[in-house]
Structure 1
Amino acid sequence: MQPLNFVAGDATNPQAKGPKVIAHICNDLGGWGKGFVLAISRRWPEPEREYRRWHRERAGNDFALGAVQMIRVQPDIWVANMVAQRGTKRGSGGPPIRYDAVESCLEAVAEHALAGGASVHVPRIGCGLAGGTWERIEPIVSKTLGARSVATTVYDYG
């Protein structure tokens, strides 16, 4: 079991040696323009471009809740676009976050990280615009990444 490491800082500037995966949550509508994705887009154009293409061509690919798209942005950094948010607004079904999709996504991220010897870096995923709570997300992160000994850093910005 690898405990989660909490630091103050910017998850788009991961503090670790070796290969790194920056994981974040996307919605299932193809929308990109609020929240943590803006910080990603300020650093690299590829994750937004590839996410929009993935959504646009969704009839012929795996774009859906629980799916992950890995985008290499530097020789040692990947961005994981994780589809774990249904829509963008709170409705009768509650907040947009889908905890089961977060778990599926993080399982795929763990596989990628283990295969490449990478650490994983996240903001408090699912707790901003997606409307989730860290009390529900943290155990999922621990179960999918920490329990598999994937070094994981959670960043609190500001």
Structure 2
Amino acid sequence: MEEDIKFGNSLLYYKCDNIEFLKGYGQLYTEFDDGVATRQINIIKNDMYCSSSLHDWNEDIGFLLYDGHIDSLDVSDSVPITRLDFEKKWQEGIVANKSPINYLKGDASLPLEEHTLIIHVVNILGKWGKGFVLSLSKQFPIAKNDYVKWSKDKETFGLGEVQFVCVDQQKATFVANMLAQHGVRKNDKDRTTYIDYDVLRLCLRKVARFALKNRLSIQMPKIGSGLAGGDWREIEKIINEELIYYKIKCTVFEL
């Protein structure tokens, strides 16, 4: 899923074949990112539950994701496994546990809850002036200010990069400026597709890791389908493959 991103040794995977749950014993598979539990597979009585949220609860198991750092967890009864081993089991589990994109009417710049990552697409030209960004910068001026500063850094400002901006530290609210757009629509008759789908996919992979590690839900407008000229059906498919796959809570706002 993430062949274009190099994580080094930040990701670790463990399997325990005899873990005690609330109502019996079962298997446990856990992914850790820099020591933080980001995804977990719980198996009991031939039932499988996949989770990447601290809010997920099951009466037979308890909470479905470990809330803590690997340093405070006893893994002596667990064995290291490969990422491939974990992904095979995860793919098997999400067939029955997949959560769809949540669609709502409204303004995506208004956080639904705390611990939220607002994501949107920005262009490589350093221009911030139309569409969703107007509402976003009204709510969180720092999102625009940081993007404009970033656009002047030619070493880091490039397609496929994502700028994560903390806009409310107390409520753990972040904005992701995703560089996946070549240009901007010139006028109402301009039908050019400025969004780069492959680059958007790369950006969303980085967004997924950030959201998992920081335990954030995600909300967005219909990214890439407005001034960027993209096909929402194609973009929705990418969102499903790169965000929903990880069971990250995703809300798309439609005006």
What is the CA–CA distance in structure 1 between the aligned matches of 2:210 and 2:99, rounded to whole Å?
A: 17
Secondary structure of the equivalent of 1:132? coil
Q: Which residues in structure 2 correspond to 1:20-99 (within 5 Å)? A: 20-59=116-155, 61=156, 63-75=157-169, 76-89=172-185, 94-99=192-197
* One-letter code aligned to 1:2: S
> Once the 2 structures are TM-superposed, how far is the Cα of residue 136 of structure 1 from its aligned partner?
0.7
- Say whether the 8 Å CA contact 2:110–2:139 is kept in structure 1: no
What is the CA–CA distance in structure 2 between the aligned matches of 1:80 and 1:49, rounded to whole Å?
A: 13
What is the CA–CA distance in structure 2 between the aligned matches of 1:13 and 1:42, rounded to whole Å?
A: 10
> Once the 2 structures are TM-superposed, how far is the Cα of residue 56 of structure 1 from its aligned partner?
0.5
Higher-Rg member (1/2): 2
- Say whether the 8 Å CA contact 2:117–2:174 is kept in structure 1: yes
What is the CA–CA distance in structure 2 between the aligned matches of 1:151 and 1:21, rounded to whole Å?
A: 10
> Once the 2 structures are TM-superposed, how far is the Cα of residue 44 of structure 1 from its aligned partner?
1.2
Q: Would the alpha carbon gap of residues 5 and 87 (structure 1) be closer, same or farther in structure 2, given more than 3 Å must change?
A: same
1:49-69 per-residue CA deviation (whole Å, 9 max, x = no partner) reads: 11111111223x2x1111100
1:7-59 per-residue CA deviation (whole Å, 9 max, x = no partner) reads: 1111111223x410000000001111111111111111111111111111223
Residue 229 of structure 2 corresponds to residue 131 of structure 1: yes
Q: Which has the higher contact order (CA 8 A, sep 6+)?
A: 1
Fraction of identical pairs, as percent:
40
Give ranges in structure 1 of 5+ residues lacking alignment: none
Q: Which residues in structure 2 correspond to 1:135-146 (within 5 Å)? A: 135-146=233-244
1:61-99 per-residue CA deviation (whole Å, 9 max, x = no partner) reads: 2x1111100000012210000011001147xxx411101
User: What's 1:107 paired with?
Assistant: 205
* One-letter code aligned to 1:97: I
1:109-131 per-residue CA deviation (whole Å, 9 max, x = no partner) reads: 11000001100001000010000
More strand per residue: 2
More helix per residue: 1
* One-letter code aligned to 2:253: Y
Secondary structure of the equivalent of 2:178? strand
* One-letter code aligned to 2:211: A
Give ranges in structure 2 of 5+ residues lacking alignment: 1-97, 187-191
Secondary structure of the equivalent of 1:58? coil
Secondary structure of the equivalent of 2:208? helix
User: What's 2:112 paired with?
Assistant: 15
* One-letter code aligned to 1:144: E
Which stretches of structure 1, 4 residues or longer, exceed 2 Å deviation after superposition? Answer: none
User: What's 2:219 paired with?
Assistant: 121
What is the CA–CA distance in structure 2 between the aligned matches of 1:70 and 1:125, rounded to whole Å?
A: 16
What is the CA–CA distance in structure 2 between the aligned matches of 1:48 and 1:14, rounded to whole Å?
A: 17
Would you say how many aligned residue pairs link Structure 1 and Structure 2? 152
What's the TM-score, normalizing by structure 2? 0.57
What is the CA–CA distance in structure 2 between the aligned matches of 1:58 and 1:20, rounded to whole Å?
A: 29
